Amino acid sequence: MASDLIVTAQHLMLRGLLSLPAPVKRALAGRPVVLDGLTLETETQLVLRLQRLLRERGPEAYDVPAGRRVLDGQSRVVGGTSQPIGSVEERSLGGVPVRIYVPGARTESSAPQPTLVFIHGGGFVYGGLDSHDAVCRVLAERAGVQVISVDYRLAPEHPFPAAYDDCVAAYSWIVEHAVELSVDRDRLAVGGDSAGGNLAAAVALDAARSGLPLALQLLVYPTTDMLASQGSRRLFGEGFYLNTAFMDLATEAYLPVEGDRTDPRVSMIRAEIPGNLAPAYVVTAGFDPLRDEGEAYAKQLAGAGVEVTVDRRDGMIHGFLNWVGVGSAARGVVLELADRLGEALTASR
């Protein structure tokens, strides 16, 4: 109870702070941060400054169980706890726990629904149904699609390929039981953020090779190369939320066997791209250590003839997808992504 009260208080405080007039937020944030020719978005800069002043530590600074609680709490602070949704149901699909979100406009419909299979981020170590509950609600309501959020097993308890296996199994089960789940197989997407973007890309590759239907892959700042050394990892590895310590911990926990780090199921930048791969909408953040590898994978897909849209949000940082309950900048981007998702699944009919 105390923890819930603290999270609620922090959420209300942050929401109030980011509701201040733009000139006030600019003054509180300090001089604009410009790096690599990009300017950090003001609300984001203000939140990062507040975290430094409060000496708030990331999940990587704690043991794994405590770090998971920290990340869930941070997600609730920026996501809020009251995002509207038509209905929510928890189930197990082929042994994999999921949470199913149906938007209000579709709760009375028995027709097959356009559906997003969503895979959460968290470095393969953190996150779950609760950490991404708010954004799943927003995506479902705004896009007008059913969202099935997958709760895959986490490292270090379950190293590679456990998360991959769970996500592939869940997607296959959803396709096989589409009628039972009110899923329209012709309007089915897979998506995720960060490690979830990695897993979504891997599911899309498996679906193409297995002949399973897929209309769209939505990859939000995905990690695509577990041996990455691109410039963005060096430029933004400190001071912009996702840091080098977190990334190193994630790699070591999920991929303790070094030889697995080049496996194309987890480093899809090394994968052979099937010719029938679903169109990709790749979203990156300008101040994200993972920016360059996400865009490199998009370039690889385009070179293989896959239909690709790359959408870099210059002033954003890693993790902005969760910021749906505070401020206007990140939430506005998420609403735009949801609109693109809804349009894509409607057009694929």
The C-alpha atoms of residue 236 and residue 251 are separated, in whole angstroms, by 18
**Is-contact 308 279, C-beta < 8 A?**
yes
The C-alpha atoms of residue 39 and residue 74 are separated, in whole angstroms, by 24
Dihedral in degrees, nearest 10, Cα atoms 324, 328, 333, 334? 20
Residue among 239, 162, 208 nearest 304 (CA)? 208
The C-alpha atoms of residue 301 and residue 308 are separated, in whole angstroms, by 7
The number of beta carbons lying within 10 Å of the beta carbon of residue 57 is 11
Find the angle CA(9)-CA(12)-CA(13) to the nearest 5 degrees. 85
Residue among 76, 85, 206 nearest 128 (CA)? 76
Catalytic-labelled residue, pool 11, 120, 132, 318: 318
Whether 248 sits among the annotated catalytic residues: the reply is no
Tokens 């693109």 found at: 340
Catalytic-labelled residue, pool 131, 149, 194, 267: 194
Catalytic-labelled residue, pool 72, 133, 206, 288: 288
Whether 288 sits among the annotated catalytic residues: the reply is yes
Whether 132 sits among the annotated catalytic residues: the reply is no
Active-site residue set: 194, 288, 318
